[in-house]
Amino acid sequence: MSSIGKLMKQAARMQQQMEQIQASLAARTVEATTGGGAVKVVAKCDGTIASIKIDPQALNPSDAQLLEDMILSATNQALSQAKDISNAEMGKATQGFSLPGM
**pTM reported for the whole predicted model:** 0.68
pLDDT band at 22 (very low <50, low <70, confident <90, very high): confident
- The reply to whether 68 falls in a domain is yes
- The reply to whether 101 falls in a domain is no
List the CATH number of the domain containing 27.
3.30.1310.10
Determine how many CB atoms are found less than 10 A away from the CB of residue 95. 9
- The reply to whether 16 falls in a domain is yes
Tell me what the pLDDT averaged over the chain comes to: 85
The reported pLDDT for the residue numbered 18 is 84
Which range, of 14-23, 41-50, 90-99, averages the lowest pLDDT? 90-99
pLDDT reading at 97 higher than 80: no
Structural domain for 86, as ranges: 3-94
pLDDT reading at 1 higher than 60: no
- The reply to whether 44 falls in a domain is yes
How many domains does the chain divide into? 1
> Quick one: average pLDDT of 69-97?
87
* Distance of alpha carbon 95 from alpha carbon 73, whole angstroms: 33
Q: Nearest Cα to 3, choosing from 95, 11, 63?
A: 11
- The reply to whether 102 falls in a domain is no
- The reply to whether 83 falls in a domain is yes
